Structure 1
Amino acid sequence: MRIIGYPDRFSVRPGQTLGFRLSSEHPELRPEIVRLRQPGSSRHATPLVEEPVKADLPESLAGRCQHTTSGSYADARVDGELDELGLGVWFQPTLPGPDARPLLAVGALVLEVSARGILVRTGERVMAGLTTRIEERNWAFVAATVDRSGAVGLSLHRPGLPVLSTSARSEPVHLDRPRLLLGSDGRLTGGLGHTFNGKLARPVLAATAWPESTTVALAAGADPLNLLPAATVSALDLAADPGGTRVADRGGLTAGAQLRQLPGRGVPGPFWTGAETDFRRAPAEFDALHLHDDDLADAGWETDLEWTVPAELPTGAYALKVTAGEDVDRIPFVVTPASHDAPVLVVLPTWTYLAYANWRTYAEYEEERVALYGERRGIDERDRWLAEHPELGRSLYDVHTDGSGVFYSTSLRPILNLRPDYFTPTTRGFRHFAQDLQLLAWLDDRGERYAVVTDDEVEREGSALLRHYRVVITGSHPEYCSAGMLDSYLAYTFAGGRLMYLGGNGFYQVTARHPGHPSAIEIRRGHAGVATWVSDPGEQHLSATGEPGGLWRLRGRAPNVLAGVGFTAQGHDKASGYVRSEASTDPAVAWVFDGIGAGAGEVFGDEGPGLGGAAGDELDRADVTLGTPPDAVVLASSVGHSERIALVPEEIDHGYATPPPGVHPKVRADIVLLGRPGGGAVFSVGSIAWSTAMTHKGGDNDTARMTANVLNRFRDATGSIFETTD
């Protein structure tokens, strides 16, 4: 990748200024703004269509390479001079190795750990060391003291093991207003950070070389402020405000610390008893940071171009197109409406885009994917490049270098699978952002008047935004959402609004915006659902909000309550069609099938690009026991799925009964229509593959016709959508 970049946010209003950060191996770049009209590439067998926008940009930009150093840590400034000191910290290494990693640094003095033991150094000079095996995921307490004469003490306390200690003579120290760093020694070298992988808790720094009795008391859990004068002690409170990015100091030695690159918070510390799993009820026991050398909140690039969006620019999906020779990158963003005068609103599921941001599994597990698909589909070469650049942050489907799950994802970095020409092997072509551009292209071809927003606008403005529109249409995979977003969609439909859920596996995962880093979202996988990792014990609650993570279904808010359908199965060998139900022939709903030749019991929607049908990828079904309204009408159900399409874990039957042979009856997508008070309504298709199938034969297909029928009725009907006309 010789040109990459990212905007300072996904969406912007006319009149606002958007910043772009770029990195290029070329000395000169040509920028232009384009409106994205249709996704594609030669590999997709569909041309990418973009429309130049008059933007008053410079003819060229100077190219430069920008670099990122990942890795989380905490950073404070000591108020005063230190001619002697004591420092200590609880630590739990999650990736101990031969490479020493910093636990605490005070100026040039660094306390660090490797798989072989502990040492304290100034610069490259070792002052003292302890050689011992350091066990993975075991808590230990280490303390070091240096007095005015240069006498050094170092001790290691591990529950159930003898104390190890040593003393040495070194040069005296003099530190003038030094930085206090947790998990870092301040080196920013580009690439993965030279930071600690593991958990740190209860750090303490004192302007005195305390006696061994103080070390013993600290290792037993004593409060340092009960042992040492508060004015000369730093005792950073890692338990307080787990959704924040600053840490208060209970002592007087610093003004508090700034957390860098989003370390894990709301996680148990060394004195967690296991009696509470909610950090809000026992905050003192959840007093650890989980640091990773690939944590990322902000790539930290400088802005190369600022552009003020013209006041008259229409709402839609756009990109900064940056070109040098044959190299090009398109950096997408959304222009939201200046006024709410269109009848239709499309919500692009940008939180799902963030969840999948820079997902490297296609490159890192290429052969496993062949086994999953039953064929070799190839990958987008950008994934191979990403696999070589872990410092650009991982997706919420990945694990960190230490094997722990990634539960924060930020937009302030290049996201290379968020491109209109990105090739997704899962669907043999389009998915997520590129697929949702297909929906916008279909609306354009119809001449539909519509506005575009993102999940961020729905989260921020809620149902007050949605109520400006007669119809709200989702993207193909709105999986990640907050409680506020669910509330907003429900309130909208109960106030007479019409929702078209044109996707699958939506409204599934408990998600929150990070209050300290609004560019980032957070999840906790919990121990249920489709997951590539599970939460560690005591780590199921979101640090951002304190609420339990996992599936909305397990919080009594299954997607069925809102959309009438909920996630039931997934598989990626091929898609299928739907069989029309007998209930769909009732005149109150039969209008949905206008222009569609299938009668009751007959199949439609069994053609399309990619997976080859409208019902595929991830599937949702109706179930009144999970909240589907009893009066919801199931218009059709998919058929013909292979045994490669598997139930999601929460749908698997429990007990002694033998599962039915062949394809499980729960493996299906249901098309559902339901009414709400005041003329409100919901139409759900139960399949991610739906909007791609709409493009088959240039839109001349039953999937597109059904979508158009519903959109027309939802947009134009003034009363109940079930009212029949003569």
Structure 2
Amino acid sequence: MRLVGYADRLSARAGERVTFNLRSEHAEVRPQIVRLRKPGSPRHGTPLVEEPVDADLPDVLNGRTQVTTSGSHAVAEVHRDLDSVGLAVWFQPTLPGSEPRPLLAVGDLVLDVSAGGVALRSGEHVVAELATPVEERHWAFAAATIDQAGAVRLSLHRPGRQELSASGRAGPIRLNRPTIRLGSAGRSTGGLGNTFNGKVARPVVSATAWPESTTTALAAGANPLALLPAATTSVLDLAADPAGTRVPDRGGLTSGAAIRHLPARGVPGPFWTGGETDFRRAPAEFDALHLHEDDLADAGWEPDLTWTIPADLPSGVYALKVAAAEDVDRIPFVVTPAAHQAPVLVVLPTWTYLAYANWRTYAEYQEERLALYGERRGFDERDQWLVEHPEFGRSLYDVHTDGSGVCYSTRRRPIINIRPDYYTPTTRGFRHFAQDLLLLAWLDERGERYAVATDDEVERDGTALLSHYRVVLTGSHPEYCSAGMLDSYLAHTRSGGRLMYLGGNGFYQVTARHPGQPEAIEIRRGHAGVATWVSDPGEENLSATGEPGGLWRMRGRAPNLLAGVGFTAQGHDRASGYRRSEASADPAVSWVFDGVDVGVGEVFGDEGPGLGGAAGDELDRADVTLGTPPDAVVLASSVGHSEKIVLVPEEVDHGYAAPPPGIHPKVRADIVLFGRPGGGAVFSVGSIAWSTAMTHNGGDNDTARVTANVLDRFRDTGGPVLEPGA
């Protein structure tokens, strides 16, 4: 990609400003604001539809190459000059290699580690080293001192083993108000950072070269400030405020450190006993940072264009379209309503977009996906570019280069799969952002008055936003959500509001916005559910909030409580249709099938682009034992799934009884409808593939008709909707 960019936000209210950052190999770039009306590309077999917006932009922008260096670390500024120094740190390598990686640096003095041992360097010169291999994922303690005469002592402590030490000579040193760097030596050249991969804890820097007895005491866990003068010692408290991006210094040598690029926090340190897994109850034991060379909080590009959204611009999905020669990029953003006048609100699941942002498996694991799909589906060419640029961060489905799970995702970077023309192999075309544009296109084609918001607005404004709308529609995959979002949707339906959950695998994963880095979201996978990684012991709680991560279901908040259905199965070979239930013939709900030429027991929705039907990709089913309201009506259930559609782990049968033969009865999508006191109501389709199937035959299909019937009833009915003739 010779032209790519990102915005400083995914959504903004009319009247606010959006800033764009671009990277171009072209000398000039032509900018344009467009409204995205319909997703597509030649590969999708449908054209992308966009409308120019009068935006008063410059005709051209100067192109430039911008560089990003990833890698988490911490930085603190020393208040005084140093002519002697002591430094120490606990560390646990997670990707030891032959090349040294910095553990702790003070100015140009660097204590580093490789698979072959630890060393102290002054600039490019090794002044002391211990050629003793360090073990992966084992804690060790390294310390070094240089006195005023330049004498060096380097020590390595490994629990349960003999202390090792080496001496050397650096010559007299003079460090003029140096910078302390934890996990970094300060060199930045673009690409993956030359930072430490692993956990670090309890860093100590002193303006004095302490004696050997102090090193031994520190290795045993002694309080540094009981051994060294507070005024001339730095003791960065990595356990303090795990949700923040700064840590205090309990000593007086610095004013604290800035935490950069979102290392994992709230993780156990070297003195964790295992007696407590919640860092809030034993903070001193959770005093480590897990650093990664591919952590990224902000790509750090300089802005190229800031646009003030006109106050009268209609709510919808827009993009900055930039073009140069044959290269084009569209950087999307949602314009939320300045005034609430439409009866319908569509909430785009931007937290799910961020969870999947820059998912790297399509180009990296083609052979594995052949087994998953049963066919070669290729990938978007931009995925190969992503493989070549690991510095732009990973998705919450990826693992870091050291194999640990990615638990933070930021919007301040190029995100190539949030594009209207992105091709997703999983569905043979549309998924996530591009698929949700299909829903908006369908609303446009039927002349619906609607506004668009995102997860960010629901998280921030809650029922104060939702209460303005008679009907709230979700996107196709609102998987990642906070407790506040769940509360707001539930309160909306309990106070007369109507919710149409037009997707699958929704309201599933405990998620939070990062308070110190609000552009980022955080998860911890825990040890249940569909996952490409699981949390390490003691790392199940979100640093952002302290709450247990994993599935909402495991915290008594299964999606069924809100939506009537919850995640049950997934597979991506093909989709299926739904068989209409006997209960759907009741006059209280039969209006859902007005104009649908399908009787009880007959199948509809078994056609469509992509996977070929309305029930596919990821499926949700009704279950009163998980919270589906007892009065919820199951209007239809999917049939005809293949053996490649499998139960999610939390649904697998336990005990001695053998599973039933054939396709498990839990492998299905259910369409449910239920009312709530005060006129509220919920309609759920139980499938990610639903809105894609709505486009079949130009929108003239039963899936679209069912959706339209429910939307019309929800929008136009003042009283309860589950009544004949309402």
TM-score over 0.5 for the pair = yes
Alignment of 1:642-653 (within 5 A): 642-653=642-653
List per-residue Cα deviations over 1:538-595 (Å, max 9, x = no partner): 0000000000000000000000000000000000000000000000000000000000
DSSP-derived class of the 2:113 partner? strand
1:667 aligns with 2:681: no
In structure 2, what is the equivalent of residue 310 of structure 1?
Answer: 310
In structure 2, what is the equivalent of residue 554 of structure 1?
Answer: 554
**Partners in 2 of 1:67 and 1:578 — Cα distance?**
50
DSSP-derived class of the 1:300 partner? coil
**Partners in 2 of 1:684 and 1:370 — Cα distance?**
32
In structure 2, what is the equivalent of residue 221 of structure 1?
Answer: 221
1:341 aligns with 2:341: yes
In structure 2, what is the equivalent of residue 86 of structure 1?
Answer: 86
List per-residue Cα deviations over 1:137-190 (Å, max 9, x = no partner): 000001000000000000000011111001112211111110000000000110
In structure 1, what is the equivalent of residue 120 of structure 2?
Answer: 120
DSSP-derived class of the 1:617 partner? strand
In structure 2, what is the equivalent of residue 73 of structure 1?
Answer: 73
DSSP-derived class of the 1:184 partner? coil
**Partners in 2 of 1:680 and 1:385 — Cα distance?**
47
**Partners in 2 of 1:130 and 1:88 — Cα distance?**
15
DSSP-derived class of the 1:176 partner? coil
Alignment of 1:201-220 (within 5 A): 201-220=201-220
Alignment of 1:48-67 (within 5 A): 48-67=48-67
Q: How many residues align?
A: 726
In structure 2, what is the equivalent of residue 399 of structure 1?
Answer: 399
Divergent runs of 4+, >6 A: none
**Partners in 2 of 1:647 and 1:387 — Cα distance?**
31
1:294 aligns with 2:294: yes
Structure 1 residue 13: Cα displacement: 1.0
List per-residue Cα deviations over 1:32-53 (Å, max 9, x = no partner): 0000000000000010000000
Amino acid across the alignment from 1:310 = P
Amino acid across the alignment from 1:405 = G
1:445 aligns with 2:445: yes
Amino acid across the alignment from 2:128 = A
Amino acid across the alignment from 1:271 = F
Amino acid across the alignment from 1:259 = I
Structure 1 residue 58: Cα displacement: 0.2
**Partners in 2 of 1:215 and 1:660 — Cα distance?**
63
DSSP-derived class of the 2:422 partner? coil
In structure 1, what is the equivalent of residue 190 of structure 2?
Answer: 190
**Partners in 2 of 1:169 and 1:717 — Cα distance?**
84
**Partners in 1 of 2:192 and 2:286 — Cα distance?**
27
Computed over aligned residues only, the root mean square deviation of the Cα atoms, in angstroms, reads 0.5
Contact 2:48–2:420 at 8 Å: present in 1 too? yes
In structure 1, what is the equivalent of residue 595 of structure 2?
Answer: 595
DSSP-derived class of the 1:251 partner? coil
Structure 1 residue 17: Cα displacement: 1.0
DSSP-derived class of the 2:323 partner? strand
Amino acid across the alignment from 1:451 = A
**Partners in 2 of 1:162 and 1:718 — Cα distance?**
78
DSSP-derived class of the 1:175 partner? coil
**Partners in 1 of 2:725 and 2:551 — Cα distance?**
42
Alignment of 1:6-21 (within 5 A): 6-21=6-21
DSSP-derived class of the 1:154 partner? strand
**Partners in 2 of 1:171 and 1:161 — Cα distance?**
31
Structure 1 residue 723: Cα displacement: 2.0
Structure 1 residue 130: Cα displacement: 0.6
**Partners in 2 of 1:210 and 1:298 — Cα distance?**
38
In structure 2, what is the equivalent of residue 725 of structure 1?
Answer: 725
**Partners in 1 of 2:722 and 2:647 — Cα distance?**
33
In structure 2, what is the equivalent of residue 282 of structure 1?
Answer: 282
In structure 1, what is the equivalent of residue 46 of structure 2?
Answer: 46
**Partners in 2 of 1:429 and 1:170 — Cα distance?**
61
DSSP-derived class of the 1:111 partner? strand
1:707 aligns with 2:707: yes
In structure 1, what is the equivalent of residue 5 of structure 2?
Answer: 5
Amino acid across the alignment from 1:542 = L
**Partners in 2 of 1:221 and 1:677 — Cα distance?**
59
In structure 1, what is the equivalent of residue 356 of structure 2?
Answer: 356
Structure 1 residue 708: Cα displacement: 0.2
Tell me, which stretches of 5 or more residues in structure 1 are unaligned?
Answer: none
DSSP-derived class of the 2:708 partner? helix
Amino acid across the alignment from 1:386 = L
1:247 aligns with 2:241: no
Structure 1 residue 725: Cα displacement: 2.0
**Partners in 2 of 1:187 and 1:487 — Cα distance?**
46
Amino acid across the alignment from 2:580 = R
1:486 aligns with 2:501: no
DSSP-derived class of the 1:218 partner? helix
Amino acid across the alignment from 1:65 = T
DSSP-derived class of the 2:138 partner? coil
Amino acid across the alignment from 1:188 = S
1:106 aligns with 2:110: no
In structure 2, what is the equivalent of residue 417 of structure 1?
Answer: 417
List per-residue Cα deviations over 1:660-696 (Å, max 9, x = no partner): 1111000000000011110000000000000000000
**Partners in 1 of 2:613 and 2:72 — Cα distance?**
44
Contact 2:575–2:606 at 8 Å: present in 1 too? yes
In structure 2, what is the equivalent of residue 476 of structure 1?
Answer: 476
In structure 1, what is the equivalent of residue 262 of structure 2?
Answer: 262
**Partners in 1 of 2:27 and 2:699 — Cα distance?**
43
In structure 1, what is the equivalent of residue 151 of structure 2?
Answer: 151
**Partners in 2 of 1:479 and 1:388 — Cα distance?**
29
Contact 2:122–2:170 at 8 Å: present in 1 too? no
In structure 2, what is the equivalent of residue 95 of structure 1?
Answer: 95
Amino acid across the alignment from 2:393 = G
**Partners in 2 of 1:725 and 1:458 — Cα distance?**
33
DSSP-derived class of the 1:490 partner? helix
Amino acid across the alignment from 2:375 = E
In structure 1, what is the equivalent of residue 529 of structure 2?
Answer: 529
**Partners in 1 of 2:123 and 2:313 — Cα distance?**
56
1:385 aligns with 2:385: yes
Structure 1 residue 717: Cα displacement: 0.3
In structure 2, what is the equivalent of residue 657 of structure 1?
Answer: 657
DSSP-derived class of the 2:371 partner? helix
**Partners in 2 of 1:403 and 1:547 — Cα distance?**
24
List per-residue Cα deviations over 1:380-428 (Å, max 9, x = no partner): 0100110111100000000000000000000000000000000000000
In structure 1, what is the equivalent of residue 635 of structure 2?
Answer: 635
**Partners in 2 of 1:166 and 1:485 — Cα distance?**
56
List per-residue Cα deviations over 1:404-456 (Å, max 9, x = no partner): 00000000000000000000000000000000000000000010000000000
Structure 1 residue 369: Cα displacement: 0.4
Contact 2:674–2:722 at 8 Å: present in 1 too? no
Structure 1 residue 14: Cα displacement: 1.2
**Partners in 1 of 2:544 and 2:338 — Cα distance?**
31
DSSP-derived class of the 2:439 partner? helix
In structure 2, what is the equivalent of residue 682 of structure 1?
Answer: 682
In structure 2, what is the equivalent of residue 585 of structure 1?
Answer: 585
Amino acid across the alignment from 1:187 = R
**Partners in 1 of 2:126 and 2:354 — Cα distance?**
43
DSSP-derived class of the 2:262 partner? coil
DSSP-derived class of the 2:330 partner? strand
**Partners in 1 of 2:491 and 2:516 — Cα distance?**
28
List per-residue Cα deviations over 1:71-120 (Å, max 9, x = no partner): 00000000001000111000000000101000000001100000001110
DSSP-derived class of the 1:576 partner? strand
Amino acid across the alignment from 2:318 = Y
Tell me, which stretches of 5 or more residues in structure 2 are unaligned?
Answer: none
